[in-house]
Structure 1
Amino acid sequence: MRPRYIRGRLTLWYAGIFGIVLAIYICGACGLQYWQLNDQLHHAEIEDLETVEGLLYFTPDGRLHLREDYHSHPQSRLLLDRYMEVLSPQGDVLLRNERLGAMSLGGAIAQQEGNVGYAPRRWRLEDGTPVLAISHIHILDGKPLLIRLAYSTEPLRTRLLEFLGLLILAMPIALIAAAFAGYRVAGKALNPLEEMARRTEQITARRLNERIVVENPDDEFGHMARVLNGLLARLGESFEKLQHFTSDVSHELRTPLASIRSVGEVGLQEEHSAERYRDIIGSMLEEVARLTGMIDTLLTIAQADSGEVDLHRTTFVFAELVQESVTVVSVLAEDKKQNILVTGESELEISADRGFLRMAVINLLDNAVKYSPPESTIRVTLRDHKDTEGTAESVAVAIEDEGPGIPEDKRERVFDRFYRVDEGRTRDVGGAGLGLAIAKWAVEAHGGTITLKPRAPRGAIFSVEIPVR
């Protein structure tokens, strides 16, 4: 069953990995021990075989014997455990020691056996005893003899099993100690995470200005703390913008609703003629239309923020869209006796959502008409941007007005929703402060840019650049 907490899972992983490493170590240690014991046994056989070569002799009747008087030396009594066999080149058995008895030590003579070195080989005797044997050719009294000498490997197996048993007995103790140490280390390592979680739980919507303490900015927990602090900063900024947005929306909606209510209440206080009632209803419908337009704009902005607006791109000439937008706004300009002058030419086609891009250009032209004085000129300039090879990259339009201009310290906020440069301006100008916000979103949704620059001696220049592709 999977542990609930990370500390428990880390402890199990640590103990498991340690157990695997320990098992590999035990196998390696046992293998090394077995190799060393075999190597020691092999060297002991070589020394014993050299000793045997000096103890062999032929009797006068031609029989081969081994002197036994060396047994008086205590260090030589281990040689009694050997298995020995001496053969003639034809394979006849000349001598077998008492321990070997009638059993064969290696069977028939192999080709080149005993000619080169003391190569070890494993053999199992007829009684099942496993042995490590070596062979060597020895010349005695001018006669070649093949001496085979072997020792049982059972003692090696016994010592190896004893060594393995000791290591296995120690393994549970080592695993328990490793698990305990892993639990403590995991707990200490996760303490900063628990502190961050505790600190984060205390941060509410009213305390978004608080931040998580970064103890070590260079480690993983420091990186996580910085990420969480960045998230809190963005949430705080978004929450503050949402509060301002809600306040601005409430203010903007309250004004037309209050106007509708005031006009309705005044209309109900006295009897009026049919003509007067039509004027009252007309005034109320104007406010309703203004309110409906504002709500539609807010819905468009909300959908844009949530990413639910899909751009339906088509290919069209951008200059035609600008000319179409000028035609729409020219009706408003005629009321103020303004002149909209279009200069520059562009035949470039772009792939864009015609409706949203048209809305952006109309909003910019409408803004220029509203804030320019009567009988002034609004200039619309078209131009193309091409790279060094002459390939079209983007198309741009600049809209210049002769209005009061925008102070430098307020230019960055003119694209904010419901923002007005002069809060004291009357409602005769109209609008809800959403036109430039919509224009900015529409342009940036197409990968373009919108900028604001001052115009000399007065006025402002809004420039829009849209990539061809």
Structure 2
Amino acid sequence: MKMKNTSIKTRVTLYYAAVLILITLILFTAFYFTAVRQMNVVSRDTVMKAVQNTFDDIEAGDGFIEIDSDFDAYRKGVTLLVYSESGKVIKGTIPKNFPAQTPLEAGNYEEITGEDDVWLVYDLYNTYENGEGIWVRGIYAMDNAMQTFHAVIWIMLIALPAILLLAILAGRHITRQAFTPVSKITETANSINSGRDLSKRLPQGESKDELYDLTETLNLMIGRLEEAFQAEKQFSSDVSHELKTPVAVIMAECEYTLQKIRQPEEYQESLMTIQSQCRRTISLIQQLLQLTRTIDKDRSVEKEAFNLSILCESIAEEISVLAAEKGITMKTDIQADVNLTGDETLIMRMILNLLTNGIKYSKNSNTDEEDRWVSLRLKEKNNRIIIDVEDNGIGIKEEELENIFHRFYKVDKSRAGEDDSFGLGLSMVRWIAQAHGGIVSVQSSFGKGSRFTVELP
């Protein structure tokens, strides 16, 4: 079984188990060699001290050697033997199975292996003032220490696997608990995918860990996708609705004209109607093509530094001709030398949309024909560029203000003097402002006029 085909939960458990086994082996090996070394050090130290202390029980005089009557030939597991200078045993008993012919060697440790036993031997020689020499040999049965050591090793060999197994099982349980939210997330994601219901959200745990942050990010992404799909659905519906009207008019006009042979004037009138609807359709298509640029703001906006004051003066001069034809006064209040880094073409379209919108809805029963106006103001304040477009037209009802920037949204047609609007102009204004890091707001009183304000950094 390849590791890449196993679940993360299984892989984490296997890695966890492998690390635990490796650490256990390292610790066991370190313990074993440390214990063996320490056992040898302790054994040698015990034998050496026992031999050295034995000389305290031996006294020598003129021509004699005397050993205390309370001489202990067995101390702390060490068998003690006293030899004469010639190698004859004076005191003590040689342990059973110990090779009695083992030569005496002063100050050396030696391990002697018998038939069934291992002995640690340490010899020490001392010469007294009378010229007599004495050997003391310490014999330590290593089997005693080895038995204790082996018992500890066996306990560890039994206990460590059990502890290791419990640790692995506990780790697997913890891993399963840790990955439970992942299972729930997967289940919900499959539910969203199978049902295509983007209104659902992934479950978030109570603890704010990495999975919590991940699900929060994914939920935000799903929310944006839901908004995008809803907007696309609404967009398709609105486009279909807007295109259906001119196509239906063209089709009806063609069917009406082809019913019988008509006079040239009637054919000309039908062609003019068809031409008007075709222009309307072309205008819609052009605006829809412009809207496709809003998919990627970074790529669609070509920013460069330009003088916004000069641009506003040029637009005001151009739009004043259109305003004058409709009996509207064009007012300006433009601060000089206001510079902006942005897409000059889009900024121009934004201002033109606002001005033409003000002119289009300038008809107001409460305003004299000679007192209709549209104003354009530009100023720089607190590192912000403020563009104001104001009119004294028919205004906007309060309940409609929150919708006027939505695509294809049109207020009641009685508000407008023309019927060729698609409801895309203000949507484009908002997008252009946002693409430049700005905002657009509106203040309006129905029957008194409207004021649109664009703030750009």
* Class of the TM-score when normalised by the shorter of the 2 chains: 0.7 to 0.9
Distance change >3 Å, CA 96–CA 257, structure 1 → 2: farther
RMSD over aligned Cα atoms: 4.4
* Aligned residue number for residue 15 of structure 1: 17
- 1:51 pairs, out of 46, 49, 53, with 53
* Aligned residue number for residue 302 of structure 2: 312
Instruction: Say which SS state the counterpart of residue 258 (structure 2) adopts.
Output: helix
Alpha-carbon distance in 2 for matches of 1:240, 1:276: 45
Residue deviations 1:73-94, cap 9 Å, x none?
A: 55566234x9x999xxxxxx99
Alpha-carbon distance in 1 for matches of 2:310, 2:123: 103
Distance change >3 Å, CA 442–CA 140, structure 1 → 2: farther
Alpha-carbon distance in 2 for matches of 1:126, 1:21: 36
Residue deviations 1:303-350, cap 9 Å, x none?
A: 322457332222221012112323443343233111111113221222
Instruction: Say which SS state the counterpart of residue 79 (structure 2) adopts.
Output: helix
- 2:182 pairs, out of 193, 198, 204, with 193
The residue correspondences of 1:63-82 to structure 2 (distance < 5 A) are: 74-75=74-75, 78-80=78-80
Contact kept in structure 1, 2:374 and 2:391, CA below 8 Å: yes
* Aligned residue number for residue 422 of structure 1: 412
* Aligned residue number for residue 412 of structure 1: 402
Residue correspondences, number: 433
Residue deviations 1:147-199, cap 9 Å, x none?
A: 99888897668865775565356555554444444334433433333233223
Alpha-carbon distance in 2 for matches of 1:146, 1:278: 147
Structure 1 unaligned runs (5+)?
Answer: 87-92, 107-122, 387-392
* Aligned residue number for residue 271 of structure 1: 261
The residue correspondences of 1:248-287 to structure 2 (distance < 5 A) are: 248-274=238-264, 276-287=266-277
Q: CA deviation at 1:364?
A: 1.0
Alpha-carbon distance in 2 for matches of 1:105, 1:201: 81
The residue correspondences of 1:213-228 to structure 2 (distance < 5 A) are: 213-214=203-204, 216=206, 218=208, 221=211, 223-228=213-218
Contact kept in structure 2, 1:372 and 1:403, CA below 8 Å: yes
Alpha-carbon distance in 2 for matches of 1:175, 1:361: 75
Residue deviations 1:20-71, cap 9 Å, x none?
A: 3323432454366346535643652454144222144447569xx7959878
Distance change >3 Å, CA 449–CA 347, structure 1 → 2: same
* Aligned residue number for residue 465 of structure 1: 455
Distance change >3 Å, CA 227–CA 149, structure 1 → 2: farther
Instruction: Say which SS state the counterpart of residue 269 (structure 1) adopts.
Output: coil
Distance change >3 Å, CA 311–CA 100, structure 1 → 2: farther
* Aligned residue number for residue 366 of structure 1: 356
Structure 2 unaligned runs (5+)?
Answer: 90-99, 364-368
Distance change >3 Å, CA 458–CA 147, structure 1 → 2: farther
Contact kept in structure 2, 1:312 and 1:353, CA below 8 Å: yes
Alpha-carbon distance in 1 for matches of 2:185, 2:303: 47
Distance change >3 Å, CA 48–CA 398, structure 1 → 2: same
Deviates more, 1:427-436 or 1:447-456: 447-456
The residue correspondences of 1:106-121 to structure 2 (distance < 5 A) are: none
Q: Are 2:291 and 1:292 aligned?
A: no
Q: CA deviation at 1:134?
A: 11
The residue correspondences of 1:235-250 to structure 2 (distance < 5 A) are: 235-250=225-240
Instruction: Say which SS state the counterpart of residue 377 (structure 2) adopts.
Output: strand
Alpha-carbon distance in 2 for matches of 1:309, 1:275: 50
| Percent of pairs with identical residues | 22
Alpha-carbon distance in 2 for matches of 1:148, 1:411: 113
Contact kept in structure 2, 1:45 and 1:134, CA below 8 Å: no
Q: Are 2:433 and 1:443 aligned?
A: yes
* Aligned residue number for residue 432 of structure 1: 422
Instruction: Say which SS state the counterpart of residue 418 (structure 1) adopts.
Output: coil
- 1:378 pairs, out of 366, 370, 374, with 374
Distance change >3 Å, CA 239–CA 104, structure 1 → 2: same
Distance change >3 Å, CA 290–CA 199, structure 1 → 2: same
Deviates more, 1:169-178 or 1:263-272: 169-178
Alpha-carbon distance in 2 for matches of 1:22, 1:384: 72
Alpha-carbon distance in 1 for matches of 2:73, 2:138: 21
Contact kept in structure 2, 1:443 and 1:466, CA below 8 Å: yes
* Counterpart code for 2:274: M
Q: CA deviation at 1:362?
A: 1.0
* Counterpart code for 1:249: V
Instruction: Say which SS state the counterpart of residue 78 (structure 2) adopts.
Output: helix
Contact kept in structure 2, 1:45 and 1:149, CA below 8 Å: no
Instruction: Say which SS state the counterpart of residue 428 (structure 1) adopts.
Output: coil
TM-score, normalised to structure 1, is: 0.75
Alpha-carbon distance in 2 for matches of 1:134, 1:343: 116
Q: CA deviation at 1:416?
A: 1.1
The residue correspondences of 1:129-208 to structure 2 (distance < 5 A) are: 141=129, 163-164=152-153, 167-168=156-157, 171-203=160-192, 207-208=197-198
Alpha-carbon distance in 2 for matches of 1:54, 1:316: 108
Q: CA deviation at 1:439?
A: 1.3
Alpha-carbon distance in 1 for matches of 2:86, 2:411: 122
* Aligned residue number for residue 346 of structure 1: 336
TM-score, normalised to structure 2, is: 0.77
Q: CA deviation at 1:400?
A: 0.4
Q: CA deviation at 1:432?
A: 0.7
Alpha-carbon distance in 1 for matches of 2:162, 2:58: 55
